[in-house]
Chains A and B, each alone.
Chain A
Amino acid sequence: MSGGNAHAGVAARGGVGRRTPLIDGIEKVTGRARYTADLPLGPALVGRILAGVACALRLSGGAVAELRVALTGTNSQPLLLQGTEALVGKPLDEAALAALGKLVHKQVSPMRTTVTPSNYRRLVAAVHAQRLLRDLAAMPAPN
């Protein structure tokens, strides 16, 4: 069907140049429309995503051969962590994890929410990156 015919079809149905009221318009203008924040939570289990972390790690002889870390939910777009090459060639130990935590803390810029300060979300992102790396390398958790 050509573009002209398509337009003619819509026009025949009265669609072009005609306002179509919202199907829930009346609920919205009267305040009856219920949004997430308007629903009573009751005993519901409530979660909140503060940061998402993905890691790609290759170890060679106990040392880091390749490491990439990506974060989501913290910046206006997914963030590929810069500076991880500084850890290449080094053993994946507590010092390396501390360095990684520092990189994350420095580069993420989460927004403050009503209940979560920005710096708390930075810390959560750093801790999750460290935990993920610890899991990947099967390192024992610190006491």
Chain B
Amino acid sequence: MSKSLLTLNVNGRVEQHAVADNALLLDVLRDTLGLTGTKQGCDGGECGACTVLVDDQPQLACLTLAATCAGRRIETIEHLATNGRMSRLQQAFHEHLGSQCGYCTPGMVMAAEALLRREPHPSDTQIRSGLAGNLCRCTGYVKIVESVHAAAGAAP
């Protein structure tokens, strides 16, 4: 498989990487860039653990070819905290126990982040449908929905 030189904008850093044409965004993020916050769950688009934002839209990195992201704005869980401070959404997940084992958390948080960007004050139903593509085996979702509500309530 031939490689191409891709210009990727990941978490605000624009860098060029030689990437195989069939490489998945997930593998480039985790293996090439070392951003292991984005998780590989089912590796088949069912669980949402690999959710990242591409131009503010939640996207499954395990089903996205890295080559299709050239020149687009990619954001991962590592981008939400600034200067070591958690974002209000992360803070809410932490304080309201929105994560247990934590494996689905980066995907949950990124999907919730996308939701709050397009709908700053979502209803219960909007939160549930915004996170419908993300599976959690620990929390039963109640704490997760509460966390998103709390983050929306704490909006500046």
Interface residues in chain A, defined as those with a beta carbon under 8 Å from any beta carbon in chain B: 19, 21-22, 24-35, 37-38, 114
A24 to B: closest C-beta gap in Å: 7
7 CB-based A-B contacts, threshold 8 Å: A25-B97, A31-B38, A31-B76, A33-B102, A35-B103, A37-B39, A37-B40
**Contacts of A29 on B, CB cut-off 8 Å?**
86, 90-91, 93-94, 98-99, 102, 105, 109
Note all chain B residues with C-beta closer than 8 A to A24. Answer: 102
A-contacting residues of B (Cβ < 8 Å)?
30, 35-40, 43, 76-78, 80-81, 86, 90-91, 93-100, 102-103, 105-106, 109
**Which residues of chain A come closer than 8 Å to B30, judged between CB atoms?**
38
Query: Smallest distance from the beta carbon of A117 to chain B beta carbons, Å?
Result: 14
Cβ of B99: which chain A residues have Cβ within 8 Å of it?
22, 25, 28-29
A76 to chain B, nearest CB (A): 16
Tell me if A30 and B90 are in contact (CB < 8 A).
yes
Q: Which residues of A contact B105 (CB under 8 A)?
A: 28-29, 31
- A114 / chain B contacts, CB cutoff of 8 Å: 43
A31 touches B86 (CB 8 A): no
Q: Tell me if B's interface is mostly helix, strand, loop or mixed.
A: loop
A19 and B147 CA atoms in complex are apart in Å by 13
The distance in angstroms between the C-alpha atoms of A38 and B43, with both chains bound, is: 14
A31 touches which of B40, B77, B91, B94 (Cβ 8 Å): B77
Query: Residue among A26, A31, A114 with the most chain B CB within 10 A?
Result: A31
The one of B43, B81, B95, B109 that contacts A21, using a Cβ cutoff of 8 Å: B95
Find out whether the CB atom of A38 lies under 8 angstroms from the CB atom of B102. no
With known contacts A22-B97, A28-B105, A29-B109, A35–B39 Cβ distance under 8 A: yes
- State whether B86 touches A28 (Cβ < 8 A): no
Extra 9 A-B pairs, beta carbons < 8 Å, given A25-B99, A25-B102: A19-B95, A22-B100, A28-B94, A29-B90, A29-B93, A29-B105, A31-B35, A31-B36, A35-B103
Cα distance, A37 to B80, chains bound together (Å): 22
Assess the A30–B37 pair: CB atoms within 8 A: yes
Minimum CB distance partner of B37 in chain A: A31
Interchain CB contact under 8 A, B95 and A31? no
Closest 10 CB pairs of A and B: A31-B37, A28-B102, A31-B77, A38-B36, A29-B90, A25-B94, A29-B93, A31-B106, A28-B99, A29-B94
